[in-house]
Structure 1
Amino acid sequence: MSTDGASVHFSELVNRNRRTLARLEGSRSLLLRRRDGEDLVLTTASRAEQDRTVVSAATRMLLAMARREPGSMELLLDLLPDAFPWVRFLPETDLHAFAVELVDTMRAADSVGNNASVAQLLVEWQHTAEVHSDPELLAALTTDHGEDYGPVPDPREVA
């Protein structure tokens, strides 16, 4: 996650909490760097709510546009390469499937106030596009080698 440049080690928050929190007042957020885990982002509740409001509004606008008229899906398909350049590697059917799944997932995620599923969807489709961008990899993953080695054993049962 991008912050506006303000970052401190997590220990600064623990050891010098007033001074560290004062740095947050002059910033949109504060990146807390951790040695033993994932970095954290500290922000105010009002700023987090503002961000959520903006994402929700953008989601609702996209949904309204996508459902407005019969040609709106074509418009969305035309706009996707500007937002996600990697979609140029997707076959036409996958591009359409991505657009539909993106709109549906954004609507569902907005309804529960958690965008993790949208982020995961974007990563998964980008990986799909990466496979399609590499002819050798695509062939390796889509070619039927005619051999079936049977069911894969449960790794917990294999010693």
Structure 2
Amino acid sequence: MTAPEVSFSDLQLRGKAVADQLRRTPGQSLLVRRRDAEDLVLTTAERAEQEHTVSAATTRMFVALMRRDGAARELVTDVLPDAFPWVKFLPRDDVQAFVIELVSVLRAAESIENPAPVVAVIEGWRHTAMVFADPALAAVLAGSTDDDFGAVPKPSTR
């Protein structure tokens, strides 16, 4: 469901009316559009806590299942393309490495209540898949050497 939208000006000028609209919205959230900065999501503290509780519980159950059951790990590896279609471009070993890293980071990120590391893992593996999807780029990168070319000079300040 997409959250209803309000402008930042409406929030500033008609704060009480916007708060009333928020309470009447089924999802208890509003998208606050801004012209000069990133858009915001306005929600109630109770709704934010509920969403966090659901997310944390789901993550903990998923991680526990993945850590305890080899068949579950295989099943997740098999169905991963449904959630992340781009894994089709990864070698099978890399798909398994993605699953292992994702589970590990999900667990750690949940413990610090910060989803940013999970997003970084997903984006990193998506970019890796993009390389494998482009045979020319994959060949260039596969042909790179392990030689150390020394320190990179500082850019000029001109």
Range of TM-score over shorter length: 0.7 to 0.9
Partner of 2:151: 151
Where in structure 2 are the equivalents of 1:76-155 lying within 5 Å?
A: 76-144=76-144, 150-155=150-155
Instruction: Report sequence identity in percent.
Output: 49
Q: Deviations over 1:70-98 (max 9, x none)?
A: 33322221121121111111112211111
With structure 1 as the length reference, what TM-score do the two structures score? 0.87
What is the CA-CA distance between 1:136 and the residue it aligns to? Answer: 1.6
Within the candidate set 9, 26, 30, 2:7 is matched to 9
By how many angstroms is 1:158 displaced? 5.1
**CA deviation vs aligned residue, 1:20-54 (integer Å, no higher than 9, x gap):** 11111122210111111110000001111111111
* Structure 1 gap segments, 5+ residues each: none
Query: 5+ residue gaps in structure 2?
Result: none
Give the whole-Å Cα distance in 2 for the aligned partners of 1:141 and 1:94. Answer: 16
Distance in 1, matches of 2:58 and 2:86, equals 21
The residue aligned with 1:21 is: 19
Q: SS where residue 118 of structure 1 aligns?
A: helix
Give a deviation string over 1:110-147, Cα, whole Å, max 9, x none.
11111111112111211111111111222233322799
Q: Indicate yes or no: 2:40 matched with 1:40.
A: yes
Tell which deviates more after alignment, 137-146 or 73-82.
137-146
Distance 1:70 1:50 in 2: 31
